[in-house]
Amino acid sequence: MKITRLTTYRLPPRWMFLKVETDEGISGWGEPVVEGRARSVETAVHELSDLLIGKDPARINDLWQTLYRGGFYRGGPILMSAIAGIDQALWDIKGKALGVPVYQLLGGLVRDRIKAYSWVGGDRPAEVIAAIRSLQTAGFDTFKLNGCGEMALIESSRQIDAAIATVAEIRATFGNSIEFGLDFHGRVTAPMARVLLKELEPYRPLFVEEPVLSEQAEHYPRLAAATSIPLAGGERLYSRFDFKALFASGGLAIAQPDLSHAGGITECHKIASMAEAYDIALAPHCPLGPLALAACLHIDVVARNAVLQEQSMGIHYNQGADLLDYVLNPEDFRFHDGHLLPPSRPGLGVEINEARVIERSANAPNWRNPVWRHADGSIAEW
């Protein structure tokens, strides 16, 4: 079998799908994208196609290494997201060619289902509480919320109190009938993270995500030493090589590689194994589309240390299209008691509605994250 063509489709809400075709009529799909930089990743995918056209798609390991090491400069969000989507499509082709789901090719199931959590937006406590109530009726008992809004390098007690008050009200309302993680989104400096973690401890969040930016990862062990709250991170790390130092220095409780940013299934399977060796849990990051989610699920069901799966159903970013709008088999991605099941069809297990993809790609928005500024005019982390 030979790879004959790579076609990319930028799509609403902020995604990109890749179709990899072969001379034997089997095609694979992947989702190579960085939110807000879809066109850059698209260019990278097409640049890398020189290394793929005419090659045997079954040799995923060699193709991955060629895509990674075949360029003198490597790594980072753009290139590793391009590789990630290509890698997903290659696994999709292999599974379809052999007639089995990808997880079978990774050694088979270690669990029957994975707990999914749901994002809850909103800034005011009443909004958050109402949103949790409606998601509870859909079967969810685990949620993620933003832990705070924009935070100054050294923040006032008033802002700290506001962030804590929301969390306190949620815990008071629901007791321990729900669990929630809090995402600091890299908005918080290390000194403020110490303050917030200490104040949040009585409300026992399941984890705090990106307590500081991953480029400040040297603070993870110090923050972990100062709090009993498990620390999560890794959505902005792109390979084993990026995770290596963070795992070795300690402090991380939950690794969150993104299957569409960190080299795909091939690389994230290895990151999961590295994490297991350090007794670190796995919760793949996934605010993206159905192919990215399916890739996550195949890792979740073969990695013993996987604990939770993020997913984007109804997430506030999904303006113009939602998780299953391009999928012909939405029944395979239904929630069962707040859990997702391993995709059972050959390959990734996502039947793409190609006609809709082509139609909607004609009007793909150029999604950008907002640029925030502090009250004094200086740039703030979003």
Would you name the residues annotated as active-site residues?
Answer: 185, 285
183 is in an annotated binding site: yes
Q: State how far Cα 241 lies from the chain centre.
A: 18
Give the shortest CB-58-to-Mg ion separation in angstroms.
35
Using CB under 5 A as the binding rule, whether residue 35 contacts Mg ion is answered as no
Encoded one letter per residue, x for contact with Mg ion by CB under 5 A and - for no contact, window 205-224 reads: ----x---------------
Q: Residue 147 phi/psi, 5° resolution?
A: -80, -20
- Residue whose beta carbon is closest to Mg ion: 183
Nearer to Mg ion (CB atom), residue 155 or residue 183:
183
Euclidean distance between CA atoms 214 and 195, whole angstroms: 19
Nearer to Mg ion (CB atom), residue 42 or residue 209:
209
Using CB under 5 A as the binding rule, whether residue 21 contacts Mg ion is answered as no
**Piece in contact with Mg ion (CB under 5 A), picked from 4-12, 106-114, 181-189, 335-343:** 181-189
Among 21, 92, 183, 325, binds Mg ion (CB under 5 A): 183
**Which two tokens mark 150?**
């924009």
Give the shortest CB-6-to-Mg ion separation in angstroms.
29
Euclidean distance between CA atoms 264 and 239, whole angstroms: 9
Total number of residues binding Mg ion (CB under 5 A)? Answer: 2
Determine contact, residues 238/80, Cβ cutoff 8 Å.
Answer: yes
Burial-class residue 64 by CB neighbours within 10 Å (0-12, 13-18, 19+). Answer: buried
Give the shortest CB-117-to-Mg ion separation in angstroms.
12
| Cβ-Cβ contacts under 8 Å for 185 (sequence gap 6 or more) | 146, 147, 209, 210, 381, 382
Helices (H), the chain: 38-48, 60-69, 76-98, 102-105, 125-137, 157-174, 190-200, 220-226, 240-249, 264-277, 290-300, 354-361
235 is in an annotated binding site: yes
Q: Which residue shows structure tokens 């793929």?
A: 52
**Piece in contact with Mg ion (CB under 5 A), picked from 100-108, 204-212, 217-225, 319-327:** 204-212
Give the shortest CB-196-to-Mg ion separation in angstroms.
15
Known binding positions for Mg(2+):
183, 209, 235
Question: Which spans of this chain sit near Mg ion (rule: CB under 5 A)?
Answer: 183, 209
- Report the binding-site residues: 183, 209, 235
